[in-house]
């Protein structure tokens, strides 16, 4: 009985960096062969260009670059076999492809059959569907090994067609982004597919942040009975070895390794935020981040995530009090920055606010104060932060959360301003859960910040609940209307007051124009504002009861 050692190359590549990605893969090939004695190394979906390449796929020259890189990688398939993903052009057709390479030759190529076109995915815009299964023989073993790419595994038709070939191993290349609770669904799909096909499955996933997506890794080997035999870490690059026995050269039997302890849902979300933000900064060549610290929980959590992603030396905080900022908020902001080892400077917006009111005095004559004066304060702060960003090259972080963005409880060109919004897909109730997670080992977010009533502090004695319902109610409506796409009748039947539901739905619909101008932020849910949820600004659609 022989053993097969297979390297799972869970890499963090960069979209469009074909040369850099190629070198990353070549280095992994050498390490897998020379140090880990692997006979096969597997890379994720579209690993040569990174995922998602979007409209880069429409540029003909990209395929010339990919082919050059593929040729060079093929030269290193000496003493080891390689499976990798890349975009392939055949005549006028583009394919999401995976090739099996051995003895410095491309031996077989598979074209992805099921192209996802929902949520954050848009593959039918770029690719043509493949139509044939691909079976290969690894390292001289005459045992059929099948190739799939990501969505193929989620399709019953693909599984039914493959089952007829009786594969002894299925290798699935993936660029599967993290979404809340998706790891449970993913595990169920893998388990059920392995049982149905009666063969082990190698699931190799990409890791790292790319614009609004973050890939969680967590590559797996599933045995034919649905049990997990091997797992790579979440949210970290890894080159891990999965071993298989081949009794009587008739089948592959994965050898069980120590499986990492499962992470809780909030822990997974927090790690996704840290990695996604860290890679956004690193891959876009920013050196530091800049945060307007208010003494509230959103900016405190954003600060903690930024420190975990970049280190305290690479994060700057600015406290910009106004005439309405409570002394307790000033104290909390400064104490929070000190607790996390971040320098915080104080720049009052009062002189700028007074100047704007003076400039607008004639225009506003005989008009009473309203939200306009509140928004001016927020925009004074944004101007200060963007000026410091321009001068010092620091990336400004918006601290808005999903609850605020949903109902427009945020100022356009004010607190919405910035280069990245860490909490863009995080509901306010989750903000508190994540803050508690931050404090799991020691205090990192001040208890006073976590317990005080949320307030924008743009008017006397102001709290968020002056204009919107309690966040537990608001977030349930948002989750039902946005995530689950329920209508008003369904939301009311769930026990939500009808007038409240109607008001919040109207706010969500009216705020679309704001969200179209929001900075990018991580998508962690199926209908995240931005890449995943694309609604028209101008619309007369109504969810009637």
Domain boundaries, the chain: 2-254, 267-464
Active site residue 150: yes
Q: Which two tokens stand for residue 356?
A: 């704007």
The pLDDT value given to residue 246: 81
* Active-site hit among 45, 123, 151, 457: 45
**Residues 45/148, Cβ–Cβ less than 8 Å:** no
Query: Residue 432 and residue 427: Cα distance in Å, rounded?
Result: 9
- How far is Cα 312 from Cα 249, in angstroms, rounded to an integer? 55
112 carries an active-site annotation: yes
- Tell me what the mean pLDDT of segment 390-403 comes to: 94
What are the distances in angstroms from CA 409 to CA 212, 299, 415, 448, 468? 22, 15, 10, 23, 9
Question: What is the DSSP track for 511-540?
Answer: THHHHTTSPP----STT-BTTTB---SS--
Spell 228-259 as b/e; 16+ CB within 10 A means b. Answer: bbbbbbbbebbbbbbbbebeeeebbbbbeeee
CA distances from 458 to 21, 135, 239, 320, 461 (A): 48, 64, 51, 12, 9
Q: How confident is the model at residue 545 (pLDDT cuts 50, 70, 90)?
A: low
Q: Is the pTM of this model over 0.75?
A: yes
Q: How far apart, in whole angstroms, are the C-alpha atoms of residue 91 and residue 168?
A: 33
CATH code of domain 2-254: 3.60.110.10
Say what the pLDDT of residue 539 is. Answer: 83
Catalytic residue among 112, 114, 424, 428: 112
Average pLDDT of 350-369?
93
**Residue written as token pair 């939500």:** 496
What percentage of residues in the chain have a pLDDT greater than 70?
97
- pLDDT value of residue 143: 82
* Catalytic-role residue among 123, 134, 150, 428: 150
State percent of the chain over pLDDT 90.
75
Q: What is the pLDDT at residue 530?
A: 85
Note the pLDDT tens digit of each residue in 87-127. Answer: 999 999 999 999 999 999 999 999 999 999 988 889 999 99
pLDDT of residue 172: 96
* CATH number for domain 267-464, candidates 3.40.50.720, 3.40.50.620, 3.40.50.970, 2.40.50.100: 3.40.50.620
pLDDT of res. 541: 76
Active site residue 45: yes
How confident is the model over 263-307, as pLDDT tens digits? 899 999 999 999 999 999 999 999 899 999 998 999 999 999 999
Condensed to tens digits (0 to 9), the pLDDT of residues 405-443 reads 999 999 999 989 999 999 999 999 999 999 999 999 999
Q: If you average pLDDT over residues 62-77, what whole number do you get? A: 95
């Amino acid at each position: 009985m022989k053993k097969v050692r297979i390297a799972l190359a869970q890499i963090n590549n960069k979209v469009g960096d074909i040369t850099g990605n190629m070198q990353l893969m070549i280095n992994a090939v050498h390490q897998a062969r020379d140090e880990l004695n692997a006979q096969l190394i597997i890379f994720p979906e579209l690993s040569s260009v990174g995922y998602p390449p979007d409209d880069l796929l429409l540029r003909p020259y990209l395929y010339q670059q990919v082919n050059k890189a593929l040729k060079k990688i093929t030269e290193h398939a000496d003493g080891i076999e390689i499976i990798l993903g890349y975009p392939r052009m055949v005549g006028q057709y583009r394919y999401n492809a995976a090739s099996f390479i051995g003895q410095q030759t491309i031996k077989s190529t598979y074209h992805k059959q099921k192209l996802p076109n929902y949520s954050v995915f848009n593959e039918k815009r770029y690719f043509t569907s493949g139509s044939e299964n691909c079976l290969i023989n690894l390292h001289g073993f005459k045992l059929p090994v099948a190739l799939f790419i990501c969505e193929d595994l989620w399709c019953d038709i693909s599984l039914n067609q493959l089952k007829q070939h009786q594969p002894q191993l299925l290798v699935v290349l993936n660029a599967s982004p993290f979404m809340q609770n998706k790891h449970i669904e993913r595990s169920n799909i893998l388990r059920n597919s392995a049982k149905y096909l009666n063969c082990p499955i190698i699931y190799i996933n990409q890791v790292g942040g790319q614009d609004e997506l973050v890939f969680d890794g967590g590559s797996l080997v599933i045995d034919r009975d649905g049990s997990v035999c091997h797992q790579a870490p979440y949210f970290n690059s890894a080159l891990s070895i999965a071993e298989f026995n081949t009794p009587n050269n008739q089948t592959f039997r994965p050898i069980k390794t120590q499986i990492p302890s499962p992470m809780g849902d909030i822990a997974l979300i927090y790690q996704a935020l840290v990695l996604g933000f860290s890679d956004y900064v690193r891959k876009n060549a920013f050196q530091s981040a800049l945060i307007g610290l208010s003494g509230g929980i959103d900016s405190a959590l954003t600060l903690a995530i930024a420190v975990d992603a970049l280190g305290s030396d690479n994060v700057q905080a600015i406290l910009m009090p106004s005439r309405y900022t409570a002394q307790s908020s000033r104290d909390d902001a400064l104490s929070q920055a000190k607790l996390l080892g971040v320098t915080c400077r104080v720049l009052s917006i009062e002189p700028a606010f007074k100047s704007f009111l003076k400039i607008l005095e004639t225009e506003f004559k005989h008009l009473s104060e309203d939200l306009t004066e509140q928004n001016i304060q927020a925009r004074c702060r944004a101007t200060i932060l963007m000026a410091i960003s321009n001068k010092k090259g620091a990336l400004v972080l918006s601290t808005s959360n999903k609850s605020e963005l949903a109902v427009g409880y945020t100022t356009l060109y004010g607190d919405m301003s910035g280069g990245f919004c860490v909490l863009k897909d995080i509901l306010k109730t989750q903000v508190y859960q994540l803050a508690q997670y931050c404090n799991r080992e020691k205090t990192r977010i001040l208890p006073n910040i976590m317990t005080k009533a949320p307030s924008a502090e743009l008017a006397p004695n102001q709290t968020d609940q002056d204009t919107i319902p309690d966040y537990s109610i608001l977030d349930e409506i948002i989750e039902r209307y946005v995530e689950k796409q329920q209508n008003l009748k369904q939301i009311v039947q769930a026990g939500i007051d009808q007038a409240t539901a109607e008001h919040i739905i109207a706010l969500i619909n009216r705020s679309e124009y704001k969200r179209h101008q929001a900075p990018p932020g991580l998508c962690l849910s199926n209908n995240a504002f931005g890449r995943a949820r694309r609604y028209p600004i101008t619309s007369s659609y109504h969810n009637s009861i």
